[in-house]
Structures are given as C-alpha cells and as structure tokens.
C-alpha cells in the first residue's frame, strides 16, 4: 500500500553476494545451490551443474535497411528478427503520407506484424541447437512474398509461417552518451512474476521462459537439452547518417 516500507533482506543478501563476487557468486555459490534445490523440490529439471555451466556470449547483431536507416537487432533466439521482418514488409508501402492513426496504416502494420510473428513462432529457436534461416527470413524478396498476402479490405485468417529461401512484460533501458556510445539492456521474467517461484533464502524469482519450448510437435522450438528457448525480448538500434540514430524502445 502507499507509504509502506518494503524490506527484502534475503534479496539484499543475494545482491550483496553478486556485488562482492560477481557472476561467480550467483552461478556457483550458495545462490545457485538454493535455486537448484528449490527447482528440484518442485519437480524441476534445473540442476546445479546447469547453473555452473552457464556462460554469456558476445553476439553479432542482425540487421536490415529501412528507407536509408540501418536497424540492428539481437539475433535468435530473441524475437528481434520479427521486428526486422515487419520493417521489410512495411517498406513496400508509403506510410509516411498517412496519419499515424489512420485505419489503412494501422491495418497494414498489424498485418505485417502478424506475418512476422507467425514466422517467429515457428523458426525462432536456439541457433546452437537448430539452424535458423536468418538470411532467408530477412531477404527483401521474401518480404515481398509475404507482403503480397495482405489485402487492403480485410484482415487475414490466422497466418501460417512461410518458407523463406535457404541461405532465428519486461524491464528495458536504452542509454546513449555524449560520445555516441550506445547500450540497450533488457531484463525479464517473461510472465508476471515469472514462474511464481522464489528460490528459498535468496529472494530471487525464477523466470518461466521454458514455457516457450514445444513439447508435442517436431518444430525448431522443441525442447533439446541445454538449449535456450525462443524469447520475445527484443533490443534494437537504428543507425542513420549520424553516429547513432534515435532509440526504439
């Protein structure tokens, strides 16, 4: 309620450990042990070895050009690819001459995103486990094929994923400094409160992005061991003629 003082001593202890020991203190120490024990007690498959073997990676962004502006996104397993696909589809329309809230403009943009998300739901997975046809999905030829499915007078039936040519509830911040250095950061539990589970003694809420794996059909998003699920998290930067373009949040 308004004015209430909230104290989270267990979470404070976790944050102090991270501040003093860095990532090692989270993924290898008592915090990791508590997370693994909590998951095991509730029938989960997450183990201490899973946490200890976690590594972060430096990735090369994917990109497309939209009317002279290069837009960068994080690669799969994130859904930034869908945003770039939608831009490629929308590039074929003269949206600048329409009011931002005109029915025609909104209809085209909604349909473009529906097509992009249909592909994302099928193709986006952990590229280390399942190849993602990024080049094909981002080709202008494929965008034109998808654009041709959109009618001006009616909405599509629920769209299916396409066949690209062969060749992947959130806190978000974007920061640009005076020298043109730019950083986009996103942190998410997926659904509200994630899995609804707090690792005992840590104050850490466990996320539930594993819900985006497929268990019952042979798709790229099936659940292979030690792989990352498709994630709707999407960070992007447009870059025009200057050092850094405006941020899309």
Q: By the 8 A CB rule, do 26 and 17 touch? A: yes
Catalytic residue among 70, 163, 167, 170: 170
pLDDT of residue 247: 44
Cα 177-183-189 angle, rounded to 5 deg? 140
Q: How far apart are CA 136 and CA 207, in angstroms?
A: 32
- Which neighbouring-strand residues pair with 186? 172
Q: For residue 88, what is the enclosing H or E element?
A: helix 80-90
What does the pLDDT look like over 119-147, one tens digit per residue?
Answer: 988 888 888 877 888 999 999 999 999 99
Tokens linked to 158: 């629920």
Collect all residues with Cβ–Cβ distance below 8 Å to 178 and sequence separation of at least 6. Answer: none
pLDDT of residue 55: 85
Mean pLDDT calculated for residue range 20-36: 94
Q: How many angstroms from the chain centroid is the CA of residue 177?
A: 24
pTM exceeds 0.75, yes or no: no
Q: How far apart are CA 106 and CA 149, in angstroms?
A: 16
Q: Where in the chain is the domain with CATH 1.10.246.130?
A: 58-168+208-244
pLDDT of 21 above 90: yes
- Concerning whether 170 is annotated as a catalytic residue, the answer is yes
List the CATH code of the domain at 58-168+208-244: 1.10.246.130
3-state helix, strand, coil in the chain (%, to 5): 35, 15, 50
Indicate the SS3 state at residue 65: strand
What does the pLDDT look like over 177-207, one tens digit per residue?
Answer: 777 777 777 767 666 667 777 888 888 877 7
Burial of 9 (C-beta count, 10 Å sphere; 0-12/13-18/19+): exposed
What does the pLDDT look like over 85-121, one tens digit per residue?
Answer: 999 999 999 998 899 999 999 999 999 999 999 898 8
């Amino acid at each position: 309620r308004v004015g209430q003082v909230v104290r989270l001593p267990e979470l404070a202890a976790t944050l102090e450990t991270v501040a003093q020991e860095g990532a090692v203190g989270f993924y290898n120490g008592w915090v990791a042990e508590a997370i693994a024990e909590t998951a095991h007690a509730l029938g989960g498959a997450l183990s201490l070895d899973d946490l200890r073997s976690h590594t972060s990676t430096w990735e090369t962004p994917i990109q497309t050009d939209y009317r002279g502006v290069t837009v960068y996104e994080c690669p799969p397993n994130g859904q930034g690819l869908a945003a770039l696909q939608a831009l490629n589809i929308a590039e074929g329309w003269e949206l600048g001459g329409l009011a931002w809230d005109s029915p025609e403009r909104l209809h085209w943009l909604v349909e473009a995103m529906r097509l992009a998300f249909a592909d994302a739901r099928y193709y986006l997975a952990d590229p280390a486990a399942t190849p993602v046809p990024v080049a094909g999905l981002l080709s202008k030829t494929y965008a034109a094929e998808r654009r041709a499915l959109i009618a001006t007078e009616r909405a599509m039936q629920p769209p299916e994923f396409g066949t690209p040519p062969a060749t992947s509830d959130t806190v978000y911040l974007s920061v640009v400094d005076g020298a043109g250095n730019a950083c986009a950061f996103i942190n998410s539990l997926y659904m509200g409160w994630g899995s609804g589970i707090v690792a005992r003694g840590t104050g850490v809420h466990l996320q539930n992005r594993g819900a985006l794996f497929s268990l019952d059909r042979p798709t790229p998003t099936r659940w292979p061991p030690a792989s990352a699920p498709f994630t709707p998290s999407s960070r992007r930067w447009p870059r025009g003629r200057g050092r850094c373009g405006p941020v899309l949040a």
